[in-house]
Structure 1
Amino acid sequence: MNSLSKLPSSLRQLVILFSPNSTKPNINTKYQKILVTVSISAIGLSIAFSYFYTRFKSFRKKRTITKIIETIPELKSKNVKISDPDYVEMMLQNFVNSGKERLQVVSDFDRTISLCSYNGQPCLTSNAVIEMSPFVSSDLRTKFKELREYYLSIEHNVHMSKAEKLPYMIEWWTKSLDLVVKTQIESANLKDIVRNSTTHLKNGCKWFFHTLERHEVPLLIFSAGIGNIIEEWIVQECGSYKNMTIVSNFMTFDETTKKINGFSGSLIHIFNKNEGVLLDTKHEASILNRPNVILLGDSLGDTDMANGFPSLNHVLKIGFLNDKVEEQLPKYMEAFDIVIIKDDTFIIPNAILRSII
């Protein structure tokens, strides 16, 4: 009896009814059959419910795990803002399913790859590294500063459109590069200029560069700065990379005097950085059949860097918002899919790349 008492009531009735050693209750055969049928049905329903409930919980768990955005804890940081998580999830799903063979990266340099501050001090851009170097006279340094103070306020004016800013940016870059030529620095000075500057690359860049090269993912660095400085900067801190292309304003030097005598190619300024300038080049060939783009920038103008190739289907735009957060955040949230606020590391790009490769 003790063992029978532990059974469910429906099973206990069946045992009593069919036990040869028990005295069956006084009940006719018709009702016995009804009782048996009902008991068996109840047991069957209980087993079925338990089975499907377990499967449902398992299905719900699998659905949760397959959301890529939930598997990247770095995206939950307080300094990371995502206006449309469902859209970012869709992009990540596409990137993962397509594989690294369909991926490319396009990035700005100054204050995207390079630091904004170091040991509490503001860091210089690739232009300013030359302007502040000991090879530049104090008179020219003052002129550089005057240009920067005047035009920088226009560049960061959130109430002006790109079209309104464009002529000012062309004017600024033209005047600034003319002053660089007047410095008459020599090609041999570049290593010391970079080595003695206070500016560094963000922590995590080296892993990012190395991983992209190891997996043969093309990396395009677009900059309105000085290409020679950017190139030297990366070599000194990280090394050289065969998958990397730098599009910027590159200084040219006189073969005899070794002094700067101009710049090669067309002027690259903040609003004409886009892959359209690379049509019919070696880089274009390297990104064929790579429609998925991770784009990294720190200004609203950087969102156009992947423009120019019609085959680019999916562009995940990641923006570094470095200052004037309250004023500029709404605009950045509109322009970029992911906004990273005041972060001097490459933690977020690395986490996203790690989830794809």
Structure 2
Amino acid sequence: MTKLSSKNILIPNPKKLAKLIKAFQQAGADKIHVLSDFDNTLTKAFINGEKTPSLISVLRRENLLTPDYSTKAFILYHKYGPLENDPRLSLKEKKRLMREWWLTHFKLLIKTGLNRKDIAKAVNSENMRLRSDGQHFFKLLEKNKIPLVIMSANGLGKEAVKAYLKNGANHLNNIHIISNSFVWDKNGRAIKFNKPIIHSANKDKTMVKNFPSVIKKVKSRTNVILLGDKPEDTHMVAGFNYNNLIKIGFLNENIKTNLPIFKKHFDVILLNDASMDYINQLIKKVL
């Protein structure tokens, strides 16, 4: 039976969660790491009732590149966007389509002259905000030396995520980012993108194995708190060594439709674009 701890917190199996929390407590803080998605997980999904864009879509929506870029990027979005969350597609087919989307879009970014200055503009957008209590979340992890691994399929890549976090005066000593990246020329213009490409359908062990340095950093930290806003985000942990796993999902919209599948995948469900408060309290509890 689902337990409603507050109006924005659902715990599908309270006994299972209690058992996991006890295991975390017994093992201690030096066995914990946090594994998180970025867009709409660490950042808010809505601002003043309006759906917020991902970092990459800020370029498209706010015309930060050429008008030609925005037009073509919207065409790609309308073609592939509906397929991204289509439950009728097999994982194999979805991986193929998402790779096709990301690859085409990266080529478009390079062709239209993506520059590091454009990333700076995107991360400063008023439409990108951390969740409430997000700063406390970062400080809590840093203070207790708990690694945070951010796995993001972000189209602007690792540099954009780092720049956004630095803008908020967050220290990155304990933060490790698995994301896309570009090669830049001396003028700060993107001239190619690095492979492998991380997209929304391959954030799993097939991708994680390409980042051995990150895996090494958390190898001994086998109790994982996973944060995501899609059921597929739970696959992020597949490439990591873990004993106990607490999966927390942000269900930001279409709650009635999406709740059944979220209950199958997550141990805790945070509704209505919730704050980070529950997660902060959980971390304090397991330290």
The residue that corresponds to 1:351 in the other structure is 281
The residue that corresponds to 2:119 in the other structure is 190
The alpha-carbon deviation at position 161 of structure 1 amounts to 3.8
Query: What TM-score does the superposition give when structure 1 sets the normalisation length?
Result: 0.74
Counterpart of 1:76 in 2: which secondary structure?
strand
Quick check: 2:95–2:201 contact (8 Å CA) kept in 1? yes
Instruction: Give the stretch that moved more between structures: 269-278 or 203-212.
Output: 269-278
* 5+ long unaligned stretches in structure 2: none
Quick check: 2:37–2:233 contact (8 Å CA) kept in 1? yes
Select 1:308's aligned residue among 239, 243, 250.
239
The residue that corresponds to 1:21 in the other structure is none
Q: Which amino acid aligns with 1:291?
A: T
1:63-89: CA deviations, max 9, x gaps? xxxxxxx9xxxx711222222111111
Select 1:317's aligned residue among 223, 247, 257.
247
Percent identity reads 29
Q: Which amino acid aligns with 2:192?
A: G
Q: Which amino acid aligns with 1:343?
A: D
The alpha-carbon deviation at position 267 of structure 1 amounts to 0.2
Counterpart of 2:139 in 1: which secondary structure?
helix
Partner Cα separation in structure 1 for residue 219 and residue 118 of structure 2 = 38
* 5+ long unaligned stretches in structure 1: 1-69
Quick check: 1:123–1:198 contact (8 Å CA) kept in 2? yes
Q: Which amino acid aligns with 1:339?
A: I
The residue that corresponds to 1:264 in the other structure is 194
Quick check: 2:55–2:123 contact (8 Å CA) kept in 1? no
CA distance 1:183–1:134, shift in 2 (3 Å): same
Is 1:247 equivalent to 2:178 in the alignment? yes
1:81-117: CA deviations, max 9, x gaps? 2221111111111011111011011000000011111
Partner Cα separation in structure 1 for residue 63 and residue 75 of structure 2 = 18
1:245-267: CA deviations, max 9, x gaps? 11111222112x32111222310
Matches within 5 A, 1:142-221: 142-221=71-150
Q: Which amino acid aligns with 2:284?
A: R
Q: Which amino acid aligns with 1:137?
A: T
CA distance 1:223–1:159, shift in 2 (3 Å): same
The residue that corresponds to 2:6 in the other structure is 77
CA distance 1:142–1:80, shift in 2 (3 Å): same
The alpha-carbon deviation at position 279 of structure 1 amounts to 6.2
The residue that corresponds to 1:230 in the other structure is 161
Instruction: Give the stretch that moved more between structures: 107-116 or 137-146.
Output: 137-146
Quick check: 1:135–1:183 contact (8 Å CA) kept in 2? no
List structure 1 runs of 4+ shifted beyond 6 angstroms.
Answer: none
The alpha-carbon deviation at position 197 of structure 1 amounts to 4.2
Instruction: Give the total of aligned pairs.
Output: 282
The alpha-carbon deviation at position 280 of structure 1 amounts to 6.9
RMSD over aligned Cα, in angstroms?
A: 2.0
Partner Cα separation in structure 2 for residue 331 and residue 185 of structure 1 = 38
Q: Which amino acid aligns with 1:283?
A: V
More helix by share: 1
CA distance 1:298–1:262, shift in 2 (3 Å): same
Partner Cα separation in structure 1 for residue 274 and residue 76 of structure 2 = 27
Q: Which amino acid aligns with 2:159?
A: N
Who wins on radius of gyration, i.e. which is larger?
A: 1
